[in-house]
Amino acid sequence: MASQGTYLMAQFLDWVERSPRTYADVRDVWPSTCPLNSAWEDAVVQRFVAFNGDGTLVLTEDGRAELRRGR
């Protein structure tokens, strides 16, 4: 059985994959006031997402691979 953290990460990566997101989008939709719900911060640390030069957050190759594993 997948952990809640794994499920949240898969949801977050799927959300990013659907459309490039701004920092404001991420902070609005994925607030991280709870240390157990840090999907977007974890995705940055694990290099599953990265900010483009235009400031949008997109999946990296590692992020795409992780998303395929989580589906």
Read off the CATH number of the domain in which 37 is found.
Answer: 1.10.10.10
Length of the chain: 71
**Given this model, what pLDDT does residue 34 score?**
65
Cβ contact 52:16 at 8 Å: no
Q: Is 71 exposed, middle or buried (0-12, 13-18, 19+ CB in 10 A)?
A: exposed
Q: What is the pLDDT of residue 1?
A: 38
Please give the tally of structural domains in the chain.
1
pLDDT in tens, the chain (71 residues): 345 568 889 999 999 999 989 989 998 888 776 666 678 888 999 999 999 999 999 999 999 999 988 76
Give pairs for 27-30: CB < 8 Å, separation 24+.
none
Query: Is 17:70 a contact under the CB 8 Å cutoff?
Result: no
- Which structural domain, as residue segments, surrounds residue 41? 4-70
